Every structure is written in C-alpha cells, then in structure tokens.
A and B are shown apart, each in its own frame.
Chain A
Amino acid sequence: QRAVHPDRFGQRPLKEQSYSEQHSSLINKAYQTLLNPLSRGLYLLELNGVEPAQETDSDADSAFLMEIMEINEKLAEPKNEDSLEEIETLIKVKQDELTEEVTAAFERDDLQEAKKLLAKMKYFANLEDKLKKKKIPS
C-alpha cells in the first residue's frame, strides 16, 4: 500500500492514477479476505480447486441446524444488553473453536472436512452480523 496508495499519485498522469486506485483497491480486498478466517478459509479451498458447499444441509446436520435456529430465535427476541452479551460470547467461542478445527483440517490436507467446517462458520458469521446490527441503537 505504501507503494500504490492513491495519495502518492495525485500529481501523476491519469493512467498511473487509475492503476494506483485499482491496485490499492485490490490490495485492500486481498487484505480483508485474508484477515477474516472464514473468507481466508474459503479462499484456500478455492486455491485447492475445492468448491465451497452448495447443497442444502438437512438430516445429517439437524442438531447443528437446531442450535443455529435457537440462537437466531433468541436474537429475534427483544432483550436487554446482558443476554446480548451472553449470545455474543457464545458465538465468539464457537467461531474460535471452528477456526481451530478448520486450521487443523487444512494442516492435514483434509479439504472435505475443511469445507464442512467452513459451511458451519458461515452460519455463525451471519449470526455475528445480526448481533452487530442489534447492538446499533435504532
């Protein structure tokens, strides 16, 4: 970014300015992708030629789906700050656990397992977003 940031190209010809913007934007995108464990994991899958999970989850994962449903239902209830904090902690703990499991799966080259775990992470990422929205005072 030090090399391509648009602020350093203000005086340069337009073509160079455009390059700097594009590269800068790309670098930001790459950084954000790698920073977040879920997007990083999905990118790693992609690099290894494995497509992320597309098919509907149902019977095999019913216990997991029920857990996600329950957390969603709790979030949907109008509540106070304390219970929101509880839910936030729970989600964070689960995400950290899953991140560790995904890391282990990649380390032993178990891409199919990584794929399954990343699908689970997606549900928690959604919950995290919903919780953040709830915290914004309306």
Chain B
Amino acid sequence: RQVVDHYENPRNVGSLDRNAKNVGTGLVGAPACGDVMKLQVEVDENGKIVDARFKTFGCGSAIASSSLATEWVKGKTVDEALKIKNTDIAKELCLPPVKLHCSMLAEDAIKAALADYKLKQDPNKEESEKKA
C-alpha cells in the first residue's frame, strides 16, 4: 500500500538549483531496467539537510523508493543520511525481491547527491586528490 501511496502521491517531486553551493545533485541510472533517478539535497550551514527533491523516470517501486528517500533525508545531517540503507527503504515499502534494485538505486542516489555536495564544499580537496 505504501508503494502505491508514494507512487500516486509522491512527495518532493521537483528540482533544486543545481548550481547553488549548498545543493548536492545525484543522478543515477539502473542499466538493467533503464530507470533514471535524480535526487537533490539542500544542506544548511550546520550540515543538516533542509530540503530534498527528486525526479524519477521508471517503475512505481523506483518512484516510491526515491520519494521515501527524500522524506527520510530531510532533517538528517549529511553523515546520518549516508547511513540510509536500501534494505531499510525496501522493508518500509515492503518491496518484493524483484524490485530490491529500486531501493538500491535510491540509496545510490542519496550517496551521489551527498558526494556531490561534499565535493562542492571542498573543491581544493578534490584538486589535491586528483593530483595524487
């Protein structure tokens, strides 16, 4: 039922300004089924996620997983959000085994968005890491 609810009434659909320094954007795709998922987070100066949006093109489970993901990351710190596991998402939505990869995609999207945010905070670090 939760899957249908998140599918019919997805929360937080939309976009944030990807050029803003405190916005992290994660764009991921599942090659097996061709689903694409974009997840964005807005982080305040205390490292807390204050807003999250997503756009997913794919099956109902993928949409529901990313919708739930945006709900869950709000209010968490970046480090707390990194701990969200696909198994938690799958369990919350009661996803069947064939749809577990959808929750994995959501977990990857969260991680990609947070990685992007971190990169933007410390471009010098990225430079030195690249040179290393």
- Residues of chain A at the chain B interface (Cβ within 8 Å): 52-59, 61-62, 65-66, 68-69, 72-73, 76, 119, 122-123, 125-126, 130
Contacts and interface: CB of A to CB of B under 8 A. Distances in A.
Contacts of A62: 27
Nearest to B111: A58
Nearest to A57: B29
B43 to A, nearest CB: 19
A54 B57 contact: no
Contacts of A54: 31-32, 101
B42 to A, nearest CB: 19
B36 A65 contact: yes
Interface string B36-54: 1010000000000000000
B26 interface: yes
Given A56-B104, A58-B26, A58-B108, A69 B38 contact: yes
Contact of A61 (B29, B57, B104, B105): B29
Given A69-B55, A72-B57, A73-B55, A57 B34 contact: no
Contact of A52 (B31, B58, B101): B31
